[in-house]
Amino acid sequence: MFNFQGADPGHVDPKTYTTIGALPGHIDPNQPPNKKPWRTINDNTFVRSLELVMPQELRAIILDQIDQQFKVLTYEKLIMKLEEVLEESFFNDFVKKDNVLMVSEGRPGVDNIFSLRREEDADDASKGILRLDIDKESYERAGLQGQTIRGKGRKHTKARFRIELDLRLPSMIHGKKGFERLITAARNVLNTSLTWLFLDESQPPRAVSKEDQPQSAIEKYYPTKMDCKPSIGTLQQILVPPLCPPSIGDDTALNEWIYEITEWLGLVGLESPRIREGDTPETYLSRYSLPGNTPPAGTQLCKVRWTGLIHSEFIINLMIQLM
């Protein structure tokens, strides 16, 4: 089970981040901005699903552009222990050099979950953050310094702890005291064999045949290649509310518009009949109503959905190409 968690697994309230503003006319894909909404995308390291909704009239143009500009997203499923992630060959080939994303199986807040992700500091220096979210017993036996994960005052929840280490620091090498302490904890305490999702962002994402791939350090971990191919569907007779925001000076109207559009987008993702032309459900079953200024005629929409391990760089590049 892979439940991709956010920055704080103790924080369980869902949030929708909305950014309203004028985007620049040209953005360099090699140097995307670091302000909102780009920063919000970068903050979500592990993305499980991505949806793109467009008018049916733009389907051919946008899908051709996606096919030409973007390659098939691929990632691997590996079976390995945390200690094997820290072995010299794997550690030097992937963790120290490449932009690798890894996350282990487990239920957030219940099981011990390990992840490796890339972060940028204030000086644009790349970090390789190893995060260990573990229970109290494992934390006390591991002998590593961490912090308590907030439980938001919920009752009957066991204490959990988080340990974060930057594996790209110069001190994080074999033979150094701090790194050897981490290896000891991985060997003696956090030694369960787990299924990991592994994504190397530095490699070309287009799927190639197994014969064309060089032998790498992951072959001994029983890799299973997963393709994250988009699924494409057509939604018929969908009522579309006005997508232009009201005057920014009117905060009440703006907030109401944001709530309405967010709710409508959620129903589009669910392909709910509540937003179809001619739908008249019993008020006992559903009290949803479209915004009052919604045109009465339905239209066709195209929905493209990616499901798998998706890195933020792919999402940012997709936004830039669609602008």
Say what the pLDDT of residue 121 is: 63
Residue type, 51: E
* Radius of gyration of the chain measured on its C-alpha atoms: 23
Which token pair is 277?
A: 């032309």
- List, in sequence order, the alpha helices (H) in 71-166: 82-85, 88-90, 136-142
pLDDT at 196: 95
Q: Is 22 left (phi over 0), alpha (psi -120 to 50) or beta?
A: beta
Residue 11 gets which letter from DSSP? -
CB neighbour list of residue 234: distance below 8 Å, 6 or more residues apart: 56, 300, 301, 302, 303
**CA pseudo-torsion sign 304, 227, 8, 109:** positive
**What pLDDT, on a 0 to 100 scale, did the predictor assign at position 235?**
92
0.85 exceeded by pTM: no
Closest CA to 166 of 106, 113, 96: 96
Please list the residues that pair with 50 across neighbouring strands: 306
In this predicted model, what pLDDT tens digit does every residue of 139-163 receive, in sequence order? Answer: 999 999 999 987 665 666 778 999 9
- For residue 109, the surrounding DSSP H or E stretch is none
pLDDT at site 128: 85
Distance CA 86, CA 107 (A): 23
Contact of 70 with 170, CB cutoff 8 Å: no
Query: According to the model, what pLDDT value does residue 36 have?
Result: 80
- Residues 22, 33: Cα–Cα separation, whole Å: 13
Calpha distance 12→73 (Å, rounded): 29
pLDDT per residue of the chain (323 residues) written in tens, 0 to 9: 445 555 454 444 566 777 777 777 778 877 777 788 888 888 777 888 999 999 999 999 999 988 888 878 889 999 999 999 999 888 988 888 767 899 999 888 889 999 998 876 655 556 788 999 999 999 999 999 999 987 665 666 778 999 999 998 889 988 899 999 999 999 999 999 999 999 987 665 444 444 444 456 788 899 999 998 899 999 999 999 988 888 767 778 888 888 899 899 999 999 999 999 888 888 888 888 888 778 888 899 999 999 999 888 888 888 888 87
Peptide bond into 37 cis (omega under 30): yes
Quick: pLDDT tens for 220-246. Answer: 899 999 998 899 999 999 999 988 888
Instruction: Identify the CA nearest to 245 among candidates 63, 19, 77, 6.
Output: 19
- Any idea which residue has 């045949």 for tokens? 209
Q: Give the full edge-to-edge strand order of the sheet including 147-148.
A: 147-148, 160-166, 126-135, 113-120, 100-104, 194-200, 73-80, 224-228
To which H or E segment does residue 78 belong?
strand 73-80
Which pLDDT score, from 0 to 100, does residue 55 have?
Answer: 93
Please name the amino acid found at residue 18: T
* Number of alpha helices (DSSP H) and beta strands (DSSP E) in the chain: 8, 11
